[in-house]
Amino acid sequence: MANQKPVRLCIGCRTRAKTNELVRIAYEIAGESRSLVIDDRSVLPGRGAWVHHDPECLSKALQRRALPRAFRNQVETEKLAETLAQWQSENTNTPNNDESGSEN
Ligand SMILES: [Zn+2]
């Protein structure tokens, strides 16, 4: 029980996963502009949606319009797709990151 991690539903494939396998998407309101941001530290307040670190899941989420539903609002998903794709490539371009050296 001690080490149990929280579990969230991926809005893409609709399966549950631990939050460390998912990335949080938060809805940021700054004045007039509303945008979706990657909240990879899960620190932003308000509503959030979770999706796997997988472009497949993101495109599924976009196809079924999961994001506007998750945020109960019109959201600019095109920009998010770009942002998230970039985030994902940055986070997968570090080979051996999880393979070793994390045991200290
Ligand atoms: Zn997924």
Tens of pLDDT, residues 48-86: 999 998 889 988 998 999 988 888 887 778 788 888 878
CA of 7 to the centre of ligand 1 (A): 12
pLDDT score of 89: 80
Cα(51)–Cα(61) distance, integer angstroms: 8
Q: Is the pLDDT of residue 104 over 80?
A: no
Distance from residue 60's CA to the centre of ligand 1 (Å): 8
Contact (Cβ atoms closer than 8 angstroms) between residue 27 and residue 71:
yes
Does residue 98 surpass a pLDDT of 60? Answer: no
Give the Å distance between the CA of 27 and the centre of ligand 1. Answer: 19
- How far, in Å, from the CA of 32 to the mean position of ligand 1? 31
Closest-CA residue to 50 (of 91, 5, 10): 10
DSSP class of residue 21? G
Least confident of 10-14, 18-22, 51-55, 78-82: 78-82
Give the C-alpha separation, 76 to 63, whole Å.
Answer: 13
Q: What residue ranges do the domains of the chain occupy?
A: 7-80
At 79 the pLDDT is 80
Q: Does CATH place domain 7-80 in 3.30.1230.10?
A: yes
The count of C-alpha atoms lying within 13 angstroms of the C-alpha of 22, restricted to the half-sphere facing its C-beta, is: 24
What's the maximum distance between 2 C-alpha atoms anywhere in the chain?
46
- Give pLDDT, residue 74: 79
Q: What is the mean pLDDT of residues 28-41?
A: 82
